[in-house]
Amino acid sequence: MLTRIEIDGFKTFENFSLDLRPFSAIVGPNASGKSNLFDAIKFLSLLSQHDIRTAMQDLRGEPEELFRITEDGSASEMSFATEVLLESQGVDAFGAKYNVRAQRLRYELTLAMKLDSRGFPKGIFVTRESCAEISKKNDTALYLKGARVEYSGRKTPFISIKEGVDGEVAAFEIRQDGPAGDTGATKRGRPVTLPALEASRTALSTITTAEFPHLYALRDVFTSTRFLEINPQAARRASDRFELKQLRPDASNLAAVLARLQDETSTDTRPNGVISDISVDLASLIPAVRQVKVYNDANAKEYSFAVSTSEKLNFSSRVISDGTIRLLALLSILDDPQRRGILCFEEPENGVHEGRIEALVSLLREAASTKSTIGEEPLFQVLINTHSPAVMHALEDNEIVAADAVSVVDPATKTRSVKTRMRTGVETALFQLNPETDMTRKEVENLLRKKSDEA
């Protein structure tokens, strides 16, 4: 779970910081930077798995366009910092179980574009990377107060830099902290050293086993992030039996996911398992719906689904409306008993009647982990962005992140640029507000009414 993110030099972000809750909604007009925030989170996810070149290919825009552009030109560096809450235990890709003693970590990363002798881009490299525990006294996530969060008191960082004689970063050091055999002790051997002269991937991306439990858990936070961009046409199709059972971003394997959920949760008393819960939640959003039906056709060797209505009519996935498909795909994640990680979902209001927005927001809120459930179930975070006043009205004050684009003037060069600003201090009161961090609901409403070039 991400509790804080800081960005500088990436797209429209300059000295940007934002605290996030288990359920946060980025509210703002078009071109205010809402999608850019999701791009930054996606970039961190990709960097934890791939080299920089591959990670940048999956983002909107050319590599050079990902660096912040002002009247003075493009930035040569971009930096990120994240603070996370880790699961207390887990299993790595090889089935090895691990425990995490320090659940609060801060991870920092800087990338720089280097030029050749002619001044042309030579490549983009990791220039700084670090990871260390957040101590209890320095933990600023207010909603974690009173929750069962483990702090180890560790002073040594999990990832640190080693400087050369000229002051440049010469290497990244990764410290082992996994159990040593059957003794239960912790490995404290020599750190793993990676050259940093022209590092084309992050040190975090090299962690693949529970030999480094804290870093493996951190990497899992990024790799388990999902970005839902539902394509209703693709989601309608039947799924092959060997299709991936975790929902794809475009929901093209929705039938396979629904079949997996039914198979894993079916009991003698509830033959449809969690599909029954999905049916109830879908009916709360679309009253005409009665039941979601999943078909496992052995002869056709594929999965398919349909929806029945209160008039006892069955509609196959081929004719279900786009809005219904979108909601069904979303509920296949929210109602999954094993839901975990981070869900980033743009414009959840699409296809939903305005009168049902409040019920939709309630479902999103209830699916996210809260203070009372941390430690009792897998951590699950929901981040949405929206420009819908109806969604904003259904949100609680502390769930709203108001986004807008503001003009700033460099005091040294007098040049003007635009950057993304996000404020979380939404208050009902009309006094003692800091305009840089706080705003009233009325101001958020006015912000949504503005055209993008007025923000």
Q: Structural domain tally of the chain?
A: 2
CA atoms within 13 A on the CB side of 150: 13
- In the block, tokens 């019920």 appear at 359
The reply to whether 62 and 200 lie within a common domain is yes
pLDDT at residue 188, as a whole number: 61
**Residue 129 forms beta bridges with which residues?**
109
Range of the domain at 84: 1-224+342-455
CA atoms within 13 A on the CB side of 226: 21
Question: Quick one: tokens of 125?
Answer: 């490299």
Rounded mean pLDDT, 263-275: 96
Rounded mean pLDDT, 279-301: 90
pLDDT at residue 183, as a whole number: 44
pLDDT at residue 299, as a whole number: 77
3-state secondary structure of 431: coil
DSSP 76: S
Domain end among 339, 372, 401: 339
Q: Which of 51-60, 62-71, 427-436 has the lowest mean pLDDT?
A: 427-436
User: Residues 401-416: pLDDT tens digits?
Assistant: 999 999 888 787 777 8
Do residues 113 and 64 lie in contact, with contact meaning Cβ atoms separated by under 8 Å? yes
Closest-CA residue to 215 (of 198, 244, 194): 194
pLDDT at residue 429, as a whole number: 56
Q: Which CATH number does the domain housing residue 61 bear?
A: 3.40.50
* pLDDT at residue 372 is higher than 90: no
Confidence of residue 453 (pLDDT cuts 50, 70, 90): very low
The reply to whether 118 and 262 lie within a common domain is no
Residue type, 202: T
pLDDT at residue 285, as a whole number: 93
The reply to whether 66 and 212 lie within a common domain is yes
Confidence of residue 297 (pLDDT cuts 50, 70, 90): confident
- Rounded to whole angstroms, the Cα distance separating 313 from 325 reads 17
* pLDDT at residue 185 is higher than 60: no
pLDDT at residue 181, as a whole number: 47
Domain end among 289, 306, 339: 339
pTM of the model as a whole: 0.91
Domain end among 339, 367, 391: 339
The reply to whether 301 and 193 lie within a common domain is no
- Rounded to whole angstroms, the Cα distance separating 296 from 302 reads 6
Confidence of residue 24 (pLDDT cuts 50, 70, 90): very high
The reply to whether 367 and 321 lie within a common domain is no
DSSP H or E stretch at residue 70:
strand 69-70
The reply to whether 310 and 214 lie within a common domain is no
The reply to whether 246 and 114 lie within a common domain is no
* pLDDT at residue 391 is higher than 90: yes
Helix ranges (H only) for 210-252 are: 213-223, 232-235
pLDDT at residue 218, as a whole number: 97
- How many CB atoms are located within 10 Å of the residue 396 CB? 12
Distance of CA 340 to the CA centre of its chain: 11
The reply to whether 86 and 208 lie within a common domain is yes
What is the greatest pairwise CA distance in the chain? 78
DSSP letters, 147-211, are: S--------S-SEEEEE-TTSSEEEEEE---SB-TTS--B--SPPEEEE-TTB-S-SGGG--STT
Q: Which of 9-13, 263-267, 325-329, 446-450 has the lowest mean pLDDT?
A: 446-450
The reply to whether 193 and 213 lie within a common domain is yes
The reply to whether 171 and 158 lie within a common domain is yes
Higher pLDDT, 30 or 252: 252
For residue 453, CA distances in Å to 51, 72, 445, 446 come to: 36, 21, 16, 14
Rounded mean pLDDT, 147-156: 90
The reply to whether 194 and 70 lie within a common domain is yes
- Rounded to whole angstroms, the Cα distance separating 310 from 289 reads 6
Q: Which of 116-130, 146-160, 435-449 has the lowest mean pLDDT?
A: 435-449
The reply to whether 219 and 333 lie within a common domain is no
Report the chain's mean pLDDT, rounded to a whole number. Answer: 89
